Chains A and B, each alone.
Chain A
Amino acid sequence: MEPRSRDEDLRKQEPQWIQQALLGDTEAFVELIELYQRSVFNLCYRMLGTLEDAEDAAQETFLRAFHSLRQYDPARPFATWLLSIAAHYCIDQIRKRRMVIFSLEDLPEPEFASHDPPLETTVGIREDQQKIQQLLKTLSEVDRAVVVLYYWYDLSYEEIAKTLSLSVSAIKSRLHRARRALANSWLKRYPATFQEADRKGYESPVF
Chain B
Amino acid sequence: MNHRFFEERLFTDEPLTAQERLFLEQHLRSCERCRTLHAAWQETQLVLESAGWVAPRAGFSQRWQKRYVQREARTQQRRALALFVINALLAALFAFPVFALVVFSPQPLWLRVVIALYNLSALVPILEGIYTFLFTIIRATSQLLTPATEAALIAMFVGLTLIWLAMLRKFSARRVTC
Mutual binders A and B = yes
A interface, CB within 8 angstroms of B: 2, 26, 30, 33-34, 37-39, 41-42, 45-46, 51, 54-55, 58-59, 62-68, 71, 84-85, 88-89, 115-116, 118-120, 125, 128-129, 131-132, 135, 147, 151-152, 172, 175-176, 179-180, 182-184, 186-187, 190, 193-194, 197-198, 201-202, 204-207
The residue that A45 contacts in the complex, of B54, B58, B177, with Cβ under 8 A, is B54
A65 to B174 Cα, complex, angstroms = 13
Apart from A67-B176, A129-B51, what 8 extra A-B contacts exist at CB < 8 Å?
A: A26-B68, A55-B63, A64-B176, A68-B176, A175-B13, A176-B11, A201-B29, A202-B28
A-B pairs under 8 A by CB, number: 149
A197 touches B63 (CB 8 A): no
What A residues does B39 contact at CB under 8 A? Answer: 193-194, 197, 204
Asked whether, in the complex, the Cβ of B12 is within 8 Å of the Cβ of A176, the reply is yes
A191 CA to B52 CA, complexed, in Å: 25
Inter-chain CA distance A128–B52, complex, in Å, is: 10
Q: How far is the CB of A124 from chain B (nearest CB, A)?
A: 11
Once bound together, how far apart are the Cα atoms of A41 and B50, in whole Å? 18
A59 touches B63 (CB 8 A): yes
Provide the residues of chain A in CB contact with B47, threshold 8 Å: 128, 131-132, 135
**Do A129 and B56 touch (CB < 8 A)?**
no
* B41, CB-defined interface residue at 8 Å: yes
- Rounded to whole Å, the gap between the CB of A204 and the closest CB of chain B is 6
Q: Across the interface, which residues of B come within 8 angstroms of A147, CB to CB? A: 48
**Contact A186–B48 (Cβ < 8 Å):** no
Contact of B60 with A by CB under 8 A: yes
Interface residues of B, CB < 8 Å — how many? 45
Contact among A26, A41, A151, A202 with B49 in the assembled complex (CB-CB below 8 Å)? A151
- Whether A66 lies near B8 (C-beta < 8 A) is no
**CB of B65 closer than 8 Å to a CB of A:** yes
Task: Return chain A residues, CB-CB under 8 Å to B71.
Answer: 63
Q: Are B56 and A119 in touch, CB under 8 angstroms?
A: no
Per the bound structure, the CA–CA distance linking A15 and B38 in Å amounts to 45
Closest chain A residue to B54 by CB distance? A45
Contact A194 B36 (CB under 8 A): yes
Q: Provide the bound-state CA to CA distance between A20 and B47, in Å.
A: 41
Partner of B36, one of A2, A34, A197, A205: A197
